Amino acid sequence: MNALDVVLVDAGGTNMGSVRYALERLGVGAEVSGDAQRIAGATHVILPGVGAAGPGMQRLREAGLIDVLRGLSQPVLGVCLGMQLLFEHSGEGDTTCLGIVPGQVRRIEGDAQRRVPHMGWNRLDVLADDPLLAGIGADAHAYFVHSYAVASGAHTLASTDYGTAIAAVVRHRNFHGMQFHPERSAAVGARLLRNFLGI
């Protein structure tokens, strides 16, 4: 992994430090940057995010990173809100997102058994054979914290059940997304991050 050059996109996500520390535990340093040239030159790009879609997109817009992110050809990983921003539109604040992955982000419909936000450990149901999911077993669990989600669909590699099938891991071309927090998902999260870095 010495040849890796990992950049975390500075989009104002409050999980930036925890993602960076998770990578350090894997022996990989990652630079936080909002510089378009620096991001474009990385071998791997991670778009973390905790917060709301509108402010997240505004931050990217103000940094001049919208077209840069859309044009990346190296492996890209969106985490939590970062994954949602890869899609076309979010119902959170009626926000136009990056439009890289086809699909809509909608508020989770809660009930007496399923609270919103969805917060805690949920099982990952692997739907497709993909290098990103190498070594992830049938009883793998990941840690989720979110109120908005994308329904499981054509680009879903793994889903989770929260009253309905929610996209937990997605891929479209070189763009990958994890709705949960791999940096908070113990050995499963570490394996997924390692897999991403190996792509």
Residues 69 and 76 sit within 8 Å (Cβ to Cβ): yes
Q: What range defines the domain where residue 153 resides?
A: 6-197
pLDDT tens track for 155-175: 999 999 999 999 999 999 999
Q: Is 141 a residue of the active site?
A: no
pLDDT tens track for 65-120: 999 999 999 999 999 999 999 999 999 999 999 999 999 999 999 888 889 999 99
DSSP strand pairing (125-126 vs 156-161): antiparallel
Return the CATH number at 131: 3.40.50.880
Is the pTM of the predicted complex or chain greater than 0.85? Answer: yes
User: What does R_g of the chain's alpha carbons equal in angstroms?
Assistant: 15
Q: Is 97 a residue of the active site?
A: no
Residue 43 lies in a domain: yes
Residue 157 lies in a domain: yes
Q: Is 183 a residue of the active site?
A: yes
Residue 1 lies in a domain: no
Number of structural domains, the chain?
1
pLDDT tens track for 24-55: 999 999 999 999 999 999 999 999 987 899 99
Residue tagged active-site, from 80, 146, 155, 176: 80
pLDDT tens track for 113-156: 889 999 999 999 999 999 999 999 989 999 999 999 999 999 99
64: left (phi over 0), alpha (psi -120 to 50) or beta: left
Residue 91 lies in a domain: yes
pLDDT score, position 13 = 60
